[in-house]
Amino acid sequence: MSRRIIPVADVSAIPDYSGPAHAPRGELTDTLARPLRDLRISVTDRCNFRCVYCMPRAVFDKDYPFLPHGALLTFEEIERLARVFVDHGVEKIRLTGGEPLLRKNLEFLIERLAALKTADGRPLDITLTTNGSLLARKARSLKDAGLTRVTVSLDALDDSLFRHMNDADFAVADVLKGIEAAHDAGLAPIKVNMVVKRGTNDTEIVPMARHFKGTDAVLRFIEYMDVGTSNGWNMTEVLPSADVVARIAAHFPLVPLEAHSAAETAQRWGYADGGGEIGVISSVTRAFCGSCTRARLSTEGKLYLCLFASSGHDLRAVVRNGASDAEIATAIARIWHTRTDRYSQLRGSASATPDASEPRRVEMSYIGG
Ligand code: SAM
Ligand code: SF4
Ligand code: SF4
């Protein structure tokens, strides 16, 4: 597969997004030679859960200033931006939020995105991360619309602990029904994400492993991260992935597996008895910034270059000011070419506790996981 590379020297400094009418297409690389391959699109900043590590109820209460409807990118705007991103080398789109299944008629957006093709004519990998609450109802229509696969978040099997963690009194059984419906609809391979918070749900590591072992769902353990500023994050509540692996291996021997690709965020481990695999995402203890090919488009159309960024680039303004596709492509190229972000790598060599004097980081529920 041949791709045109646009050298960094081809573009001048941002934030002047306006550019020549003949905007570049083809692969982009940032200042650390990382290509742009994955686009995460947040379709809503709202959620029906109040997970303690993401949208604590004390902050995300009835007075929280969620975005008004007019601020959201429309499906037409999302599709248009996505098309330009795909021209620039994006091969995978993940819909997220907030809870993406709360966005009305999401299937219409998926249909539009599913019609896009990569530069060499392949269909995109279109996936979605969900809390699973509406999945049992929607799995079939999502699949029919062109969704390739799905990632479901589930932090515990113990019902009362799960209800405590989602703080919306939502039952485990209903998420499990959603996972089953996704399986039946052919949204495979299903990934199940468990955020591990030491002292809160680490007792669920082995029960979760036991539950999903031998199924075609791949369970992934995510280190609790210092995203945003509202979850009261503390390093003492992070359980390193190495401990997760050790705890599981004490019950079910594990063998390391090769990564599917260099950009894969999870390290893979297989059950020695052939019972499938797990993944660990060590965002805190083993940064993977060097291979980070992800851009994030917020619900209101701001482009963020890192999960831990405190500001984004306003692509909605570019679109709504009447820019041509070529001008949008130029803007994206200029932004990506200047990207220097590697937050987790830098955090790894310093004190991980956020400093109150730092600029306010964007919230996970706004930017998407
Ligand atoms: N609402 C959907 C869900 O929960 O799957 C999609 C959005 S949610 C922000 C995306 C992912 O981010 C979820 O798997 C969630 O568990 C994870 N997440 C949220 N806050 C986190 C944190 N502080 N550390 C690690 N993962 C987090
Ligand atoms: Fe909602 Fe997902 Fe955040 Fe939980 S992790 S509060 S489900 S956005
Ligand atoms: Fe990518 Fe930022 Fe995460 Fe590093 S910290 S892997 S640059 S999103």
pLDDT at 345 (0 to 100): 86
Residue 7 included in any domain = no
Does residue 1 form part of some domain?
Answer: no
> The CATH number of the domain where 19 resides is what?
3.20.20.70
Q: Give the angle subtended at the CA of 59 by the CAs of 58 and 65, to the nearest 5°.
A: 135
Number of domains in the chain: 1
The whole-number pLDDT of residue 81 equals 98
Q: Name the closest ligand to CA 45.
A: 2
pLDDT given for residue 331 in this prediction: 95
Beta strand 313-314 with 302-304 is antiparallel
Task: Provide the pLDDT for residue 355.
Answer: 60
Annotated binding site: 40, 47, 51, 53-54, 94, 98, 129, 153, 191, 225, 289, 292, 294-296, 306
The answer as to whether 133 is a domain residue is yes
Specify if 6 maps to a domain: no
Is residue 109 included in any domain, yes or no?
A: yes
Query: Does 243 reside within a domain?
Result: yes
What average pLDDT does the segment 192-220 reach?
A: 97
Average pLDDT over residues 240-261: 96
Q: pTM score, two decimals?
A: 0.92
Determine, yes or no, domain membership for 70. yes
Per-residue model confidence (pLDDT) at position 26:
73
The preferred substitution site among 292, 364, 367 for testing ligand 3, maximizing ligand atoms within 8 Å of CB, is 292
Q: What is the mean pLDDT of residues 197-203?
A: 97
User: Best mutation site among 307, 347, 362 for ligand 3, i.e. most ligand atoms within 8 A of its Cβ?
Assistant: 307
Domain of residue 211 covers: 12-367
Ligand 1, atom nearest to 283 Cα: 25
C-alpha of residue 318 to centroid of ligand 2, in Å: 29
Would 232 be classed as within a structural domain?
Answer: yes
- DSSP codes of every residue in 185-208: HT--S-EEEEEEBTTTTGGGHHHH
What's the gap in Å between 119 CA and the centre of ligand 2?
A: 33
**pLDDT tens digits along 338-366:** 999 998 888 765 544 556 666 678 888 88
Whole-number percent of the chain with pLDDT over 70: 90
